[in-house]
Chains A and B, each alone.
Chain A
Amino acid sequence: MSIGSMLAACVAVALCAHGAFAHTTVRSQATESVTEDNALKIGHGCTTPEGARIPMIAQSVVFPSAAPELSTSDGSPVASLDAVIEQGTVAGLVRAIQDKGVFRAQQVKRDALGNMTGFSGTSGSLDVDVLGRVPFQFAAPKFVATSCARRLLVKVAIADVCLLGAGLADSVKQGKVNLWIPDNGSPFAVAGKAQNIDGIGAPATLTINRNVAANPLPSSCGAGIDVTVTPSAADVTVNLPIPGVWP
Chain B
Amino acid sequence: MMGLRTLASLAVAAVATTALAHTQDGTLGDTAASTDYYQITCSDDGSGVPASMMVQVQHRGPAAVPVSVVVHRGTAATATVDTVGGDTTPSPLVFVNGNDGVYNVFVTKAGGGPVNYTLSFHCMTGQNGGGLHTGTTIVFRQNQ
Contacts and interface: CB of A to CB of B under 8 A. Distances in A.
Contacts of A139: 41, 43, 135, 137
Contact of B101 (A34, A86, A114): A86
B105 interface: no
B30 interface: no
Nearest to A92: B139
Contacts of B135: 34-35, 139
A36 B45 contact: yes
Interface string B107-139: 000000000000000000000000000010111
Contacts of B49: 33
Contacts of A92: 39, 137-140
Q: Binding site of B, secondary structure by majority: helix, strand, loop or mixed?
A: strand
A140 interface: yes
A35 B45 contact: yes
Contact of A87 (B41, B44, B45, B142): B41
A141 interface: yes
Contacts of B3: none
Interface in A25-62: 33-36
B109 to A, nearest CB: 19
A115 B139 contact: yes
Contacts of B50: 33
B23 to A, nearest CB: 14
Nearest to B49: A33
Contacts of B41: 86-87, 93, 139, 141-142
B82 interface: no
Q: How large is the interface on B (under 10, 10 to 19, 20 to 34, 35 or more residues)?
A: 20 to 34
B46 A36 contact: yes
Interface residues on A, range: 20 to 34
A33 B101 contact: yes
Contacts of A158: none
A114 B101 CA distance: 21
A93 B139 contact: yes
> Could you say which of B42, B139, B143 has the most chain A C-beta atoms within 10 Å of its C-beta?
B139
Nearest to A140: B43
Nearest to B100: A33
A88 B39 CA distance: 10
Given A36-B46, A141-B41, A142-B41, A113 B137 contact: no
A106 interface: no
Contacts of B137: 35, 92-93, 95, 139
A98 B24 CA distance: 21
Nearest to B46: A36
A86 B102 contact: yes
A91 interface: yes
Interface string B42-79: 11111001100000000000000000000000000000
A131 to B, nearest CB: 26
Interface of B: 39, 41-46, 49-50, 100-102, 135, 137-143
Interface of A: 33-36, 86-89, 91-93, 95, 113-115, 139-142, 214
22 contacts: A33-B44, A33-B49, A33-B50, A35-B135, A36-B45, A86-B41, A87-B39, A87-B41, A87-B102, A88-B39, A89-B139, A92-B140, A93-B137, A93-B139, A113-B143, A114-B140, A115-B140, A139-B43, A140-B43, A141-B102, A142-B100, A214-B100
